[in-house]
Amino acid sequence: MTDLLAVENLSVQFGERAVVRGVNFTMGRERVGVVGESGAGKSMLGRAIMGLLPPGASMSGRVAIGGVPFTPDMRGGKSALVLQDPRYSLNPAMRVGDQIAEVLRLHLALSAREARREAIARLESVRIRDPALVYERYPHQLSGGMGQRAMIAMMLAPNPALLIADEPTSALDASVAGGVLALLDDEVTRRGMGILLISHDLDLVANFCDRVLVMKDGEIVEALAARDLGAAQHPYTRQLLAARLRLDA
Amino acid sequence: MIEARGITARHGDNVVVRDVSFDVADGESFGIVGESGSGKSTLLRVIAGLHRDWSGELSVAGKKQDRDRPHDFGRVVSMVFQDPYGSLHPRQTVGRALAEPLIVQGIRYDAARIDAALRDVGLDASHRARYPHQLSGGQRQRVAIARALMLEPRLLLLDEPTSALDASVQADILALLRRVRQARGMSFVLVSHSLAIVEALCERAAVMQQGSFVEEVSAGDLRRGNLHNSYARELFAASRGFRRAF
Ligand SMILES: Nc1ncnc2c1ncn2[C@@H]1O[C@H](COP(=O)(O)OP(=O)(O)OP(=O)(O)O)[C@@H](O)[C@H]1O
Ligand SMILES: Nc1ncnc2c1ncn2[C@@H]1O[C@H](COP(=O)(O)OP(=O)(O)OP(=O)(O)O)[C@@H](O)[C@H]1O
Ligand SMILES: [Mg+2]
Ligand SMILES: [Mg+2]
């Protein structure tokens, strides 16, 4: 079977400094978590896969989606990226709902009326209260967690085969985060989406994902089944596990 | 340190903070947890003097506060914003961003002071010349924390200060916050979606939903889940939800 995503010897550099170093992995229609140190290169890995690196970065290596080398026109329907700073990746001059409706019209061939109704439903699906009201807001008028959820709704709108989500629930309270994760989970089980979930929350990754990649200094230092996370061998992974803060610790 | 009575705040026609009252003693830390969109950031911005459309009575450091704050308010209170990207000037280097609060208050400083501030948050002199967009999410968040500590404020308002940090760096930052708080007798108001972080740093906390405080609890009751309000209980249950024994 062809892999949904195949990453081969992927490196990202800023001038002389390599921040992603020769990363290799493949994934199917599953949930793969990426954890690791702040600055380890997780976001740059996600952005490199989607060809969305910032200016000044150069990249080498190969990325294939469904066996086909990545091209920018795969963004949207084939693969989508929820960036770590969502409020800065939404269009600041356009109503949040209209941005989602536009994606829906483009990819699902809906009429303007249908797209609006569907956009409101999508906002509701990420547990936004008063979705019709929030539809009319501009990105700067959303709370941190609402911006994050609007971005998720927008990226899911074209039903991508692969979703790369960079800290998609970091601004959400546990109850809403649970709802959003259930929605993502449903996309995986119902229509076979694959998700690459970048998160610093080990407990979340261990529960939500099938497999986990641990990154440090631009490299994947350990790859293991999520259920084996507690038995991780690499000293850095053990250090992360030991540092977890828990309510009843 | 804070006396808040009947604080109500609006964005246009929407009331987003409703009749909220609470006290924070000198040297005490107070946590706020609650639903995304419930008004936590807006409430912090009212205290910081950054959101003007509010009513009620507010005293900070023994002085009654109006819409406009005195020039030296920045010496008493500083804030770490939820969105470090938005709070750091895009065309200011990290070094300049850290110096800015000192410059504004006319305080002399040298490069060693800036480097020490960077080291405190696990960064180093090599980050001094970078711009915010040249940092990772967690590195930006740490610069914002370092900047808020530059003036050694008496009251620190923290809005999701470690949401982008891995467990190990987060533990270091929490230790730093505890240390400076003890050394300088600071007070914190900490907004976090992590009950564990609130429990680790605060003596008391409020649970917020749709603009109101629905329950106020001690850290011990928060840890034990000794909560009465139905939303507060739901939040507590959900935060244990992602847990698997390993
Ligand atoms: N535009 C840039 N120029 C130079 N270096 C950069 C730039 N953007 C990011 N970096 C550096 O690249 C490294 C990897 O960054 P990346 O954002 O991928 O980290 P991360 O693992 O996502 O961290 P975090 O968990 O803090 O978000 C970091 O050390 C960062 O400082
Ligand atoms: N500039 C604005 N104009 C209109 N409404 C706004 C504006 N900023 C925030 N709001 C609304 O005010 C409410 C409270 O927002 P606030 O940012 O205080 O929430 P929060 O509790 O911090 O949420 P989160 O946990 O998601 O950060 C939300 O419904 C939000 O949409
Ligand atoms: Mg990142
Ligand atoms: Mg907020």
Q: How many CB atoms lie within 10 A of CB B23?
A: 13
Q: ipTM of this model?
A: 0.90
Please spell the DSSP secondary structure of B183-230, one letter per residue: HHT-EEEEE-S-HHHHHHH-SEEEEEETTEEEEEEEHHHHHHT---SH
Query: In this structure, which topology does domain A5-243 adopt according to CATH?
Result: Rossmann fold (3.40.50)
**Is B215:B235 a contact under the CB 8 Å cutoff?**
no
Tell me the domain boundaries of chain A: 5-243
* ∠ CA A76-A92-A43, rounded to 5°: 50
pLDDT digits 0-9 by tens, A128-182: 999 999 999 999 999 999 999 999 999 999 999 999 999 999 999 999 999 999 9
- Helix H or strand E encompassing B48: helix B40-48
Residue B175 exposed, middle or buried by CB count within 10 Å (0-12, 13-18, 19+): exposed
Cα of B139 to nearest chain A Cα, Å: 7
Q: What pLDDT is stored for residue B85 in this prediction?
A: 76
One-letter amino acid of A73 = D
Q: What pLDDT is stored for residue B246 in this prediction?
A: 46
In B, which residues are within 8 Å of A178 by CB distance? Answer: 238, 241-242
Mean pLDDT by 10 residues, chain A (249 residues): 93 96 97 96 97 95 97 93 85 95 91 96 96 96 94 95 96 93 95 96 92 97 94 93 80
Examine the pLDDT at B245 and tell me if it is beyond 50.
no
Give B240's pLDDT tier (boundaries 50, 70, 90). confident
Do residue A208 and residue B170 have CB atoms under 8 angstroms apart? no
Q: Which residues have C-beta within 8 Å of that of residue B161, sequence separation ≥ 6?
A: B80, B141, B144, B145, B173, B177, B190, B192
Residue A182 exposed, middle or buried by CB count within 10 Å (0-12, 13-18, 19+): exposed
Give B242's pLDDT tier (boundaries 50, 70, 90). low
In B, which residues are within 8 Å of A126 by CB distance? Answer: none
Measured from the Cα of B133, ligand 1's closest atom is 1
pLDDT digits 0-9 by tens, B65-114: 998 998 889 889 999 999 877 788 999 999 999 999 999 888 999 999 99
Please state which CATH number belongs to domain B2-89+154-241: 3.40.50.300
Average pLDDT for chain B? 93
Q: What is the three-class DSSP state of A84?
A: coil
Examine the pLDDT at B28 and tell me if it is beyond 90.
yes
**Is A216:A222 a contact under the CB 8 Å cutoff?**
no
Please name the residues between 164 and 223 in chain A that touch chain B, using a CB distance below 8 Å. 167, 170-178, 181, 200-204, 206-208
In which order are the strands placed within the sheet that holds B77-80?
B77-80, B155-159, B187-191, B29-34, B204-209, B212-218
* ∠ CA B51-B55-B57, rounded to 5°: 105
Any atom of ligand 2 within 6 Å of the Cβ of A143: yes
Any atom of ligand 2 within 6 Å of the Cβ of A170: no
Q: What pLDDT is stored for residue A61 in this prediction?
A: 98
Cα of A73 to nearest chain B Cα, Å: 26
Please spell the DSSP secondary structure of B107-140, one letter per residue: ----HHHHHHHHHHTT--GGGTT--GGGS-HHHH
pLDDT digits 0-9 by tens, B109-145: 999 999 999 999 999 999 999 999 999 999 999 999 9
Tell me the domain boundaries of chain B: 2-89+154-241
Residue B208: closest CA among chain A residues belongs to which residue? Answer: A173
Q: What pLDDT is stored for residue B244 in this prediction?
A: 45
- pTM (two decimals): 0.93
Give B243's pLDDT tier (boundaries 50, 70, 90). low
